[in-house]
Amino acid sequence: MPPAIDAVNAAAVTQAALARLPQTFVGRAALSGAVLSAGYLVWLSVYRLFLSPLARFPGPKIAALTGWYEFYYDVIKQGKYVFKIKDLHNKYGPIVRINPHELSIDDGEFYNTLYVAGSVRRTENYHEFVKGLNFEDSHFLTTPHDLHRRRRKPLEPFFSRLGATKMEPMLRELAKKLDKRLQELSGSGRVVRLDHAFFAFSGDVITRICTDDAPDFLDDPNFASDWFELVHGVILSIPVMVAFPWLVKIITWIPESVVSWILPHSEGPKDFEKFAKRSIEKAMADKRSGKEAKTDGSRTSLFRHVLDSDMPESELSVDRLVKEAQILFGAGSVSVARTLDFITFYVLQKPHIRERLQLELKDIMADYPNTFPTWAQIEKLPYLQAVIHEGLRLSYGVMHRLPRVSPDMALQYKEWTIPRGVPVGMSAFMMHTDPKVYEKPFEFIPERWLGDNVNPALKRNYVPFAKGSRSCLGMSLAYGELNILMALMFRPGGPNLQLYETDESDIMQTHDFLIPLPKLESKGFRVLVK
């Protein structure tokens, strides 16, 4: 063969080999990646099913194997995992492994062991659960025990019983404003979204506490329905955010118009954040300008109080305080409003409850509006307290399990030793509907709370505000709101309301988005003002 042809052939062979090299490299890399991925999945499966410290705990293997099991019930089925967990407890017993990392316990006797005061032991949030919500800088979802305590401390004076009592004039003022709005509609035959009205009331309460520039939702002709939709947009987005924590980070990089098109419920969190940021920035501007830190002429706003506290500068950044504000605004509005929905629906649905309430309120409210009884006087009315307890029992507060971590010591539940660092959760839904404790648990029966021989287990299982070092900050305030508004609305001569195309399915909690909601296709809690 001539040398020239030989050289040409050699060049051609070399060129062909070089051309194939990327394909060969990519192919081998892809194959290697596939093998490594498959090997990792096999190892992870073996570890989770047989080697994990949780491998010996009862529960379905698929839940132990993958988080997609929970994803299916909470995202695809829209907040249904809490009900599935209850089914798992019925099948496997009081302690169940509900995902690769977490345990659930359904036993009222263990609640006070899991949710304890800081003096008993350190307790932390489960960081994987927290980070998806993007509120880990708030006191409520702070993971480290000591940091949570430092962040919560400046807020406590506002929400203690003494602090809530100091706000009583404001609570009475707002309750009277709502009552007046409803009374003015008397005889109009107008249909009112009472869930919007209650949300406006609780929203006005918490925003007046937090800022000196409250929006006055009750003055809006439609009871600030946009505020209601805004917060519920946030609630509806929670399951996806918990399932995909990285999504929160990505969303911040994408234009809002694109995000809104891809994720219709994403506008709620964005707008809610803007509302909170305006409130924080105004408080900061007022402090810089030397403006007096007062609201209603006498009280210091909560945000200004925090800014004036001895917290380090790192804790007073706009970004952190915005997260705190969002939690306070949201939690302060939703739970109280939902409880008011429950109480009012059943009072209107069951005439004997309304009649008994009016009879009990007759004397104490006889001189209204000339005088308004104090919260301390109202809370001595046994039947009203029973109605409020039953409303809180069925509205649950936070329906979702609240996973807690004991970072320093193992926990013992019966024969089961739970290793330190393992998240364990219990749910108010299961506590409040335990048929061994509450007869006919899904029925509204205030009488179960009356008398001298109430079963102690009823009070033990009653946890609408949770317990321990991370219990709900706003418990006293919530009781004040419920007592004052319910006494006013159901007094003799109060607003004459009648249910309008609203039944129990518009009230009962059927979706757990951390915050419980009724059926999503509901048209709301509607009443006719007669």
- DSSP type of residue 103: E
Give the DSSP letter string of 266-284.
GHHHHHHHHHHHHHHHHHH
- The owner of tokens 């509302």 is 275
Residues ≥6 apart with Cβ < 8 Å to 482: 336, 339, 340, 343, 388, 391, 392
8 A C-beta contact, residue 96 and residue 133? no
- Cα 411 from Cα 424, distance rounded (Å): 10
- DSSP type of residue 419: P
Helices 168-184 and 475-489 pack at an angle, to 10 degrees, of: 40
Cβ atoms within 10 A of the Cβ of 43, count? Answer: 11
8 A C-beta contact, residue 247 and residue 133? no
The answer to whether 472 is a known ligand-binding residue is: yes
- Residue type present at position 68: W
Instruction: Rounding to the nearest 10 degrees, give the CA dihedral for residues 77, 82, 518, 393.
Output: 180
- Cα 101 from Cα 506, distance rounded (Å): 35
Which residue pairs, CB below 8 angstroms and at least 24 apart, start in 361-366? 361/487, 361/490, 361/491, 361/492, 362/491, 362/492, 364/487, 365/487, 365/488, 365/491, 365/492
8 A C-beta contact, residue 175 and residue 201? yes
- Cα 269 from Cα 271, distance rounded (Å): 6
- DSSP type of residue 50: I
**What values do phi and psi take at 408, rounded to 5?**
-110, -20
The region, left, alpha or beta by phi > 0 then psi within -120 to 50, assigned to residue 521 is alpha
Q: Is the dihedral of CA 387, 389, 390, 396 positive or negative?
A: positive
Residues ≥6 apart with Cβ < 8 Å to 312: none
- DSSP type of residue 73: I
- Cα 355 from Cα 383, distance rounded (Å): 11
- DSSP type of residue 120: T
Q: Which residues are annotated binding-site positions?
A: 472
Q: Which residues are annotated binding-site positions for heme?
A: 472
